[in-house]
């Protein structure tokens, strides 16, 4: 079956440092990958939508300078949180789209900032 | 502006009852509506989805009822089980593959 792996599952970083997280689609080729952040209040914020061989589209309040994304092939994507601060904490979710009707999410990478 | 609204915020039902979770949306271009189930510490899992050309979608104990005119939909969970206790998110997307999520309904099923 289709699975989406995310690594690491949990990470703690010092304020002002950076951390990289990875997303791997297994069992299918993702037509696009969307990165979301789920806040402690459980709301979802779309960070960016990435399609292989196309420009990555960032949502308002999120920039490439802060959240650079690499999407080299149809099964792998990575995102870095640069200069992380308290407001960046949350669960970062990768959603890999199988087709127009189906987007699978990974378990998320939980970021804690000290 | 909240594009997708869910109610109630939390819901408690007894085992065997039908849980009804509501969702409404603003954007008339939305045409795809997935529901996700999320357990604590995990990512959201796709549960069931419907397109705006349909008014009902059924998958086992889970049924979506969709009213395009009123921009409302609901998820019915029949014969609720304690294992159904989770947070349920209604989402919507239009032509740009961007999912907009509601704030979720926390369901508790008491044995």
Separation in Å, CA of A96 to nearest CA in chain B: 11
Give the confidence band of A52 by pLDDT, cuts at 50, 70, 90: confident
Q: In this structure, what DSSP letter does residue A59 have? A: P
pLDDT of residue A43: 84
Give the confidence band of B2 by pLDDT, cuts at 50, 70, 90: low
| Proportion of chain A above pLDDT 90, given as a percent | 68
A-interface mutation test, from B3, B49, B99, most A Cβ less than 10 A away = B99
> Residue A105's closest CA among A6, A13, A17, A1?
A6
Give the confidence band of A72 by pLDDT, cuts at 50, 70, 90: confident
pLDDT higher than 70, residue B21? yes
Task: Flag whether A80 is in a domain.
Answer: yes
Tell me, rounded to whole angstroms, the distance of Cα B22 from its chain centroid.
Answer: 7
pLDDT of residue B96: 64
pLDDT higher than 80, residue B105? yes
Give the confidence band of B98 by pLDDT, cuts at 50, 70, 90: confident
Contact A32 B49 (CB under 8 A): no
Task: Flag whether A8 is in a domain.
Answer: yes
Partner residue facing A43 (CB), from B34, B51, B103: B103
Strands B62-67 and B56-59: antiparallel
Task: Flag whether A111 is in a domain.
Answer: no
Q: In this structure, what DSSP letter does residue A83 have? A: S
User: What tokens were used for B38?
Assistant: 């999320």
Task: Flag whether A113 is in a domain.
Answer: no
Task: Flag whether A26 is in a domain.
Answer: yes
B4-94+105-110 CATH fold: Immunoglobulin-like (2.60.40)
* Number of compact structural domains in chain A: 1
Specify the higher pLDDT residue, B26 or A55: B26
Domain of residue A8, residue span: 3-104
Taking the Cβ of residue B51 and every Cβ of chain A, the question of whether any pair is shorter than 8 Å is answered with yes
Q: Which residue has the tokens 């065997």?
A: B16
Task: Flag whether A109 is in a domain.
Answer: no
CATH number of residue A12's parent domain: 2.60.40.10
- CA–CA gap between residue B12 and residue A109 (Å, rounded): 29
Contact A104 B46 (CB under 8 A): yes
Task: Flag whether A11 is in a domain.
Answer: yes
Task: Flag whether A62 is in a domain.
Answer: yes
Mean pLDDT of chain A, nearest integer: 91
Taking the Cβ of residue B104 and every Cβ of chain A, the question of whether any pair is shorter than 8 Å is answered with yes
Partner residue facing B43 (CB), from A42, A101, A106: A106
Mind listing the pLDDT tens digit for each residue in A81-102?
Answer: 999 999 999 999 999 988 877 8
B-interface mutation test, from A58, A96, A105, A112, most B Cβ less than 10 A away = A105
Let me know the angle formed at the C-alpha of A58 by A16 and B32, rounded to the nearest 5 degrees.
130
pLDDT higher than 90, residue B97? no
User: What tokens were used for B42?
Assistant: 């995990």
Domain ranges of chain B: 4-94+105-110
């Amino acid at each position: 079956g289709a699975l989406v792996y995310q690594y690491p599952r949990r990470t703690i970083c010092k304020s002002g440092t950076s951390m990289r997280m990875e997303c791997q689609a297994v069992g299918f080729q993702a037509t696009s990958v969307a990165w979301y952040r789920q806040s402690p209040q459980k709301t979802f914020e779309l960070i960016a939508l990435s399609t292989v061989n196309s420009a990555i589209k960032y949502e308002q309040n999120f920039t490439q300078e802060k959240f650079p994304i690499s999407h080299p092939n149809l099964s792998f994507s990575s995102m870095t949180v640069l200069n992380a601060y308290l407001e960046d904490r949350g669960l970062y979710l990768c959603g890999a789209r199988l087709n127009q009707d189906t987007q699978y999410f990974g378990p998320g990478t939980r970021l804690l900032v000290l | 502006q909240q594009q997708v609204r869910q109610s109630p915020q939390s819901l408690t039902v007894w085992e065997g009852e039908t849980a009804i979770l509501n969702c409404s949306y603003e954007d008339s271009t939305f045409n795809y509506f997935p529901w996700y189930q999320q357990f604590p510490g995990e990512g959201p899992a796709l549960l069931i989805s419907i397109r705006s050309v349909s008014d009902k979608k059924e998958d086992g104990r889970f049924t979506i009822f969709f009213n395009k005119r009123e921009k409302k939909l609901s998820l019915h969970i029949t014969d609720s089980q304690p294992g159904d206790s989770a947070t349920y998110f209604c989402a919507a997307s239009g032509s740009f593959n961007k999912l907009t999520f509601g704030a979720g309904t926390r369901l508790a099923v008491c044995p």
